[in-house]
Structure formats: C-alpha cells, structure tokens
Amino acid sequence: MIKNYIKSALRNISRSKGYSFINIFGLAIGMSVCILILLYVRDEMSFDDFHQHADRIYRVERAYRMADGSVQPYFCTLAPSFVPLLEGEFAEIEHAARLFGPPNVLVKIGETGFSEEKLYFAEDDIFEIFTIPLLKGDTKTALKEPYSIVLSRTMADKYFKDKDPMGKEMLLDNRFLVKVTGVMEDTPANSHIHMNFLVSYISLKGLQGQGDGDYFLGTRNFTDNVTLVYVRLAENTTPESIQPRVPEFLDKHIPARENREGELVKTSEQVFFHFRKVPGIHLLSHLTKEVEPNSDIRYVLIFSAIAAFILIIACINFMNLSTARASKRAKEVGLRKVVGADRKILSLQFLGESFLVCFFAVIAALGLVLLVLPAFRSFSGHAIFLHDVFSPAGLLILGGVLFVSGIAAGLYPAFYLSSFRPVTILKGEMTGGKKGRLTRKFLVVFQFSITIALIFSVFVVNKQMSYLQNTDVGYDRENIVLIPADNEVITRWETLKQELLKNPKILSACLSKRAPTGRLLDAPGFGIEINGERIVSPFDMPHNRVSHDFFKTYGMKIIAGRDFSVEHADDTMKAYILNETAVRRLGIKDPKDVIGAPFRALGGGQGYVVGVAKDFNYESMRDQIKPIVTYVLPQQANTLSLRLVKGNIRQTLNEVKDIWSRFRSGYPLQFTFLNERLNQLYRNEERMLAMFGYFSLLAIIIGCLGLFGLASFTAEQRTKEIGVRKTLGASASNIVRLLSMEFAKWVVLANIIAWPLAYWAMTSWLGNFAYKTEIGVMPFVISAGLALAVAVFTVIYQSIKAASTDPVTALRYE
C-alpha cells in the first residue's frame, strides 16, 4: 500500500510540473533560510558550553550604588584582593582564579616581536575551572611557578614554527623574561574569552606594590576592578546559597565609610556582587569592561522569529496551491472512498505526499545552504562551515525542518482533501469551495502581512543606522587615528608630540584617558561652589583626563569660557571644563555663569571652571549624554589621538610609523580609526539590517511564487468565465484589472494588519537608543507600495495571458 501511495504521489508531482516546481522551490528557499538561521542560533546559544563543568562555572561581577540611589550595571571585573577571601570563606567555591589582561603587550624572541592583545596573567586554578586541553605540559604545574607561560597552538607556530617551544624563553613588555611551560589547544570560536597566552599570575607580584599591599596579590586592594574572576562551585550548589552571605562578607572586610552627606554607610549598602553563569555571558552580559564584544539574546529571538515566519510563508504557498487544486483530485478521493478508504487513510496518504514534496525541498534547500554558506558566514560573523551542517546538531536541524514543514504544510490540505463527500463528487457537484477560497484568502493576507512587516522593519532599521552614522555627535569623527599609549609614550609625550606635529599632514595630537566610544567609568566625585554655596557630588560626573589640545583634536566646541592653554601654566589640574549636561544638572541656565566657579575633583586638585564644552556623545548613542568634567592630567592617559589631513592617509600613517619606530623601538605601531570604533558600537544593528534585508527579499520571492501559482490556477479555473466576458464585449484591460484587483485588495488588507504590528515592534526596538530617528510616514508608504506593486506585477502575466485567450477556445474549456 505504501509503495502504491508513493507511486501515486510521484505521478501527481510529475503531472503538475509547474505547480510542483513552485511548491518545491518555494519550500526550498524557506527551508534554507530556516536552516541557516537555526545554525546561527545554535552557534550563538552554544557559547562556553564546551567546558566540562559549564553548569557550575560563574564569573563574579561587581556593582555600585550611585549618587542618585540607583545601582549601576555590574562591572565584569573585580578588585584582586577579594578572590582569596571568597575562596576561603565560602565552602561552596571549589576553585577560583583571577585573570588580568593588560592591553598590547610586546612579546619578543630575540629581535622578533609582536604586540599582542589576548595575553592574560592567570592563576593555575584556571585549568580546574575552564576546559583548556594542553598539547604539551601539565595543567597541575604549567602556571605554578613565577614567569611561566603557556602558548596557544597558533602562537606556538607563530613564534617557534616547527621547533619545540617547551623550555624556551620569551621577553614580555621588555620586563618579564618568561619560560614556556605548556602549549594549549586554541580557544574554540564559541567562547566569550579567547586566550593566546597564559602567564602565571604570581609573576605580577610586586609589580605595583610591595608586601601585603601588593597591587595584584595583596589583601588590601578592594577598589580597583582590574581582574576577571571565575569560580567553579561545588556540585548541587547554586549562587543563591552564597548570595545572602555576601553583605556580611563585604562588611567584615571593608569598614563602613562616610557618604557624601557625612553619614556612616555600610559597605554592603553601596557595593554588590553578582554571580553570572559563564555560558550566559555571550548573550546576556553587556557590562563595563567586557572582555570581548558580546551578542544579544534579543537578536537571537528576532532572527528565530524571522526563520519561523519565512518557513510559514513557504508552507502557506504549499497549502494554498494544494487546496486550490483540490478539484483536480476530487474524483480520486471519491473513488477511493467508494472502494473502502476512510478519511483517516486518505489523510495519511495526502500527508505522506506532502512529506515527499518536503523531502525533495529539503534536498534542494541543502544545496542552497551549501551554495550561500560562505556569504552567510561573512555577514553573520559566525564560523559556520560544511561540517556544522552535517554534524549531529545540523542533521537534527534538517530533520526538524523536514518534520515541521511536512506537518505545517500538509496537515490542512490532507484534512481538506479527505473531507470530500463521494456522492457529491461523483455527481459532479463539488461543494465546500467557498470555504476553501476563504481559507486561501486568509493565508494570502497572513503571508503578505509578514512580508510587509519585514519590509517596514528594513526601512526603519536602515533609517536608524543612517541616523547613527550621519548625525552630529558633537565632534569631528573623520580622519582621527587612535594609538594605545603606554608609560613610555606618556613620559616622553612633549618630545613625541613635537616630532609628530612637524609633519604637516598631522593637524593635531593629544592624549586622553580614553577616546570617544570608550566607556566613561571614573566618577570619584567633585565639589563646586555656586553663588557662595558649596555643593559636593549631587550626581555622578565621570572625569576625563587629557592633555592640552584634546578639544582641538576632536573638533569639540567651547561655548563658554576658553579651552586649555599652555600659556596658562596653572591649567594642569587647576583648570576644569564641564559639558552642557553637567551645567544643566547643576541648575545653571546660562553656561557663562559657571565660568570661574571654584571646583575640586575629589582625590585631585583645587581649581576653577574655565570653560563649558558643547555636548558630545562620548559613548554609544544608545545612552544619554552624561555630565562630564575634563581636566589636564596626561599621566593617567591611555590613548594617543591624531587628526590627519584628509587624503592619502596610508602614506601619512607610514610616516607616523617612522616617527614611532624612533621613539618606541621594537614596539610595532598599532592603530585604529575612530570611525571604525564607532561602527563597532553598532555591529549587532548592522548585522540585523543585513539579515532583515536578505530575508525580506527572500520572503518577497517566496510570496511571489505563491501568488504566481494561485494567479495561474485562478485564471485556469475561470477560463470559461473569461471567454463569456470577452464574448459579451469585455476588453483585455478589463480582464486584467478584474484578475489583478482580486489579489490586490487582499494585499491592501495585509498592509492594514501589518502596519500597527510593525510600528509597535520598531518603536520598541528604537527604545534601545537614547538618540533615534523618527519612524515617519515613509515606512508605511514604501511597504504598502512595494508589496502592492510586487503582488500586481506577479499576477499580471497570468492575467494578460488569460485575457488574450481566444474566446472560442475558452468556451470549449472543461
């Protein structure tokens, strides 16, 4: 019987080649999109799950209560002195490890050196927490001794090529001579942290302190959040068993302090710890000092929804064409029922046929996936390869898509076809057609509602991205190069600056604690006197430490007072410049009124306000502009900024490299462009725009295939009607308009349904940005016009074909 059903299904497919092609190709496109997105989602959800104890590994994070009473988002780093105390006082913590990752460390062997970023000083317990296979060496001893280093496989090949690196020495930052004690496997791509070098943490002893006050290993550094801290909890233990005792732990080791109002406040009321499961970091954590850029669970959910919608659109095509062509198989159903087939048997037969069509579609989809995989890998930013498609998880996805598609596409047609009454069918009186037509119209409306919503979303996302890239951020973002600045650069800054400015292609240079796009973290407090009243830190105001010419280099405007000047000798740590937001928060309406006001940076010097800068977006435009105070203190800077003359940037950078090599011999020049850093802030949004664009186009193509098939079948079913109309005098244009408008009105209804849903979704998405574009009327016009045009042009070919048929031939049609 099954063999007979398969033969019947294959015969039915071959008998209607055009409709079968539309069904299979439409399903294949929808399935391929679904498969690609599910592979992407699986990769996003798999981060850090390769660790043996992934369910028991946590990162310890820190938060503070701010001046306004709110608790700021957690720091993903912790002060180093907490770690041995946590491990000693909480029995639930089996292992704890600190990681310290200094930026841009020079790694040298002889005269060969490279500036490296993914280098971490790590405690040996890191091997007990993370699963880090060693190709050479022993995890028990590799990081026990001072000045030991473990290299990744790639770094071992880079520095030692075919030689055995074990026991060889390397020079770090011209200060540490370390010995290779191990070679580890490269960190998997789906890790929130990638480590090329691990240096024994004990090597840091005494680097910035001595004895019990040692900066990295002592027991008194509870303030500087410089180390990543990971813990492995005991089995059957959760952070909830630790969290209630954390306040007592904090109060025990850090005495209460006076707040800004002079009241004694417990540490536990101002400082908070949080334990975050490591596998959740990539999608759920967006904290200060994240090790690497993370993704966002919201985009995973959005793309998953898109995958479902695209597949639904493809399945709707199948259902529409299957039910529309029901009359072609009515006699078959009637005869089968007469000879004893019940509804259940017929339903299973038609469902089996849909699964066979879906099987062919999956094969075609697999081919499409393999074809576009390199392009998808490029714009998604995920390392998804051929072996991922045929991995157990990939095959499970293929099987799941086949099963879901077979059920979703075939269930309704199977029940619909099997419901025909044999007596009525064999008399030639088909009933139930009206119900089928209404269902098909509903499905067309639903299908185009999804497509219109996607088009609407593409337009709004593109508009917002254009706004982010082109709006005035308060400074000139063009032709600015950012270079990491270490102690040597800071010490020799004036000499280096003079050499750089001798080049006419370098317009300006400055140092700063961080460049725009960096997080404004430091807010140690301030005091200001206004109209004789002394005010101490009524709100948090980040401190920006810079050299002279900071505002000049970035093209920031001073709207009141003056800029820093070398002609004023006391500008260093005595002159302060506020931004407009800071002035407003202080309750001052006219920025000129704050000029000359006595000002003190808590922990710093006493001086006065010399200027007010026009507001500028230092951080992402997702965030409101913060009040900022800027003062001259280049000793605490970490970034060198250069403004270059427009044009021939590469040649100018080569000349900068020559100057750099004279001042920092052995240190390769590393730089980024400010514009690149700004674009990285919105990497997820750019990826979302690309995916929305591609998938909306595919949704339109699938929808067009379905409409084309339905229009073809409608024209075929109404052949005799068209012949009669033409005989009675209807023109070809009348016939075209008649058939086209039937579909156009349902697309108009789809717009009415899609608009409020798309508007709500995009308004919610734009809510993530403090500064955003207006949705306006254009997304409504574009989505409606494009969808309507696509629908009309899709059916117009079949309409013209039907309208041009000889009426004599049409009247003979059965």
pLDDT tens-place string over residues 118-159? 999 999 999 999 999 999 999 999 999 999 999 999 999 999
The tokens 């074809």 sit on which residue? 371
- Short-list 578, 579, 575, CA closest to 564: 575
3-state SS class at 172: strand
106: which strand partners?
115
- Short-list 420, 328, 293, 340, CA closest to 686: 293
3-state SS class at 95: strand
Q: What is the pLDDT of residue 150?
A: 97
d(CA 724, CA 635): 91
Written as one letter, the residue type at 27 is: L
d(CA 653, CA 483): 11
* Displacement of CA 283 from its chain's centroid (Å): 9
Q: Which two tokens stand for residue 472?
A: 């005035």
Q: Which two tokens stand for residue 269?
A: 């009321």
Residue 219, classified by CB atoms within 10 Å of its CB into exposed (0-12), middle (13-18) or buried (19+), is: middle
Contact 688, 379 (CB under 8 A): no
Written as one letter, the residue type at 167 is: G
Indicate the pairing of strand 271-277 with strand 480-484.
Answer: unpaired
Give every CB contact of residue 228 below 8 A, 6+ residues apart in sequence: 59, 76, 77, 78, 98, 99, 100, 101, 120, 193, 291
Residue 411, classified by CB atoms within 10 Å of its CB into exposed (0-12), middle (13-18) or buried (19+), is: middle
Type and span of the H or E element at 97: strand 93-100
Q: What is the pLDDT of residue 432?
A: 47
- Short-list 524, 399, 291, 469, CA closest to 34: 399
Flag residues of the chain having pLDDT under 70. Answer: 1-19, 67-68, 73, 208-213, 259-262, 321-347, 349-350, 409-437, 439-440, 521, 603-604, 706-732, 735, 739, 797-814
Torsion angles phi and psi, residue 424, rounded to 5: -65, -45
Q: Model pTM?
A: 0.79
CA distances from 381 to 45, 257, 372, 471, 529 (A): 15, 47, 14, 26, 52
How long, in residues, is the chain?
Answer: 814
3-state SS class at 209: coil
Q: What is the pLDDT of residue 1?
A: 53
What does the mean pLDDT of the chain come to?
A: 82
d(CA 284, CA 686): 19
